[in-house]
Amino acid sequence: MLIKFYGVRGSIASPGENTVRYGGNTACVFVKTSDNELFIFDAGTGIRQLGEDLSQILPTKAVNLLFSHYHWDHIQGFPFFQLAYRADQKINLLAAHLNEQNAHSVLTQMTDPHFPVPSENLASNVHVLSMDDEILLIGRNTIRTLSLNHPGGGSAYRIDSDEGSMAYVTDNELFPPQTPKTAYEDWLEYLKNVDVLIHDAMYLDHEKEKIHGWGHSLISEALNLAKDAKVKHLILFHHDPSRTDNELDEIGVQAQQWMEKNYPEGKVSVAKEGDKYTL
């Protein structure tokens, strides 16, 4: 299984001299499994470069685009996804634990006056699919879902394949002020022993008072989750757009020190555009 990051920011793209090393694009993660199934998690601005990379190869199977939710920073890159303009390409847009009608927002954003090319003019074969069940089989891969704790709802995804497992859990507040859709104990069961966990880690402890209830987790909470669920490798994701490269460097150092002290069996990384991980 190949995992590659194309966008790691939350809320809004943040290009500039202080975000060059980690990248300024919003959420987009590419996964290719050993049976050549293609998965894309979210269509933030990072999907533009992913489309350019994928356009260099011939399509052999459908691209499965799985959405955590439909907030703009997770869908705004789709109109610039090159494969959507290729007639020989099939694209499945999938989401779980969300209103099926809202799935069409990915396409309806492509309307005047916001975008010059309407979605009905896309050359590719685009299907909006619902995931009524919490388990989906694609190729030899099992996809399990769980409801996010985020305003408006959303879905986490876990892929278990022949070569290992990964989970994508962004825009998730582990301890929201209201009753959570998914309790902490349920997250522990869902993520137990996962090889790679990509989890929302947008804020620092001292920022909690301002952002409590916004649907995002503290870095310290994500670290404890990895320890409690016996995650093998935690990747901190969905960085605050104002977080600089130097600040993310320091977060990485402190997270590593915490892991060495509290959970030496685990690994931790800070998500960075272009980084690849292989299972």
Residue type, 208: K
Closest CA to 42 of 59, 25, 55: 25
Sequential pLDDT tens for the chain (279 residues)? 999 999 999 999 999 999 999 999 999 999 999 999 999 999 999 999 999 999 887 666 789 999 999 999 999 999 999 999 988 899 998 888 877 667 778 888 888 888 888 888 888 888 877 666 678 899 999 999 999 999 999 999 999 999 999 999 999 999 999 999 999 999 999 999 999 999 999 999 999 999 999 999 999 999 999 999 999 999 999 999 999 999 999 999 999 999 999 999 999 999 999 999 999
What is the rounded distance in angstroms from the CA atom of residue 20 to the CA atom of residue 24? Answer: 7
CATH number of 2-278: 3.60.15.10
Q: pTM for this structure?
A: 0.96
- Residue 250 has φ and ψ, to the nearest 5°, of -65, -40
What is the rounded distance in angstroms from the CA atom of residue 187 to the CA atom of residue 227? Answer: 12
* Full DSSP string of 120-159: GG--SEEEEEEE-SSEEEETTEEEEEEE--STT--EEEEE
Residue type, 150: H
How do the domains of the chain map onto residue ranges? 2-278
**Do 95 and 66 form a contact (C-beta atoms < 8 A)?**
yes
* Torsion angle (degrees, nearest 10) of CA 124, 127, 128, 132: -150
Q: Please, which residues have CB within 8 angstroms of residue 221's CB and are 6 or more apart in sequence? A: 174, 175
